[in-house]
Amino acid sequence: MGASLRLLLQLWLRWQHPVASAELRLDETLSHFLFHRRTDFSVTNGRVRLKAAALIPFKYVELSTYRIEGLPDSLVWLTGRIFVGTWRSNELFGKQPLARANLTPQLVNNESLRATVKEPPVRHVDIVGWPAEKHLQILTAQNLIKNGATVELSPAGLED
């Protein structure tokens, strides 16, 4: 069922919300969906802080992100739920992301990484060029945060 939902959402996004250009703009927002509050971000006194672990590529030394320009906020969260959450959960409609990390291709390039369009799914972009060593990945993630990566809570992330 998850595969069918992903296919339907891909078709609908291509038809209703096509990407303006196949080429990434340097100031375009890319979102990486976050599902683990303890390791990916924290909320203290109403302030949300992105943690380096949220941006460390898992398993394949590439970080999966999505182009969100031109999408209403509710559709951004649905994209995370259907395209990413169905891979992480046995739930019929996928697991709801708790937050998303937002960054730009310019920020990625400044860390000697590359943002590469890699569809399917529609609007998918991989951040590649990560060092193989874990300690260097952590340092790179910390630099991304220090230099402008932000975090945004979903409605599900606001719940305690």
The answer to whether residue 83 sits within a structural domain is: yes
φ, ψ at 122 (rounded to 5°): -55, 140
Q: Give residues with Cβ within 8 angstroms of 139, minimum separation 6.
A: none
In a domain, 158, yes or no: no
98: in domain: yes
Domain assignment present for 159? no
Whether 160 is in a domain gets the answer no
Task: Return the amino acid letter for 127.
Answer: I
pTM of the model: 0.85
Q: What is the pLDDT of residues 68-101, one digit of tens each?
A: 998 889 889 888 887 776 655 555 556 788 999 9
Range of the domain at 51: 2-18+26-153
Strands 63-67 and 99-103: unpaired
Q: For 17-102, where are the alpha helices, taking DSSP H only?
A: 37-40, 73-79
Read off the pLDDT band of 113 (50, 70, 90).
very high
46-66: per-residue pLDDT in tens? 899 999 999 999 777 899 999
Number of structural domains in the chain: 1
Task: Please report how many Cα atoms fall inside a 13 Å half-sphere around the Cα of residue 137, on the Cβ side.
Answer: 19
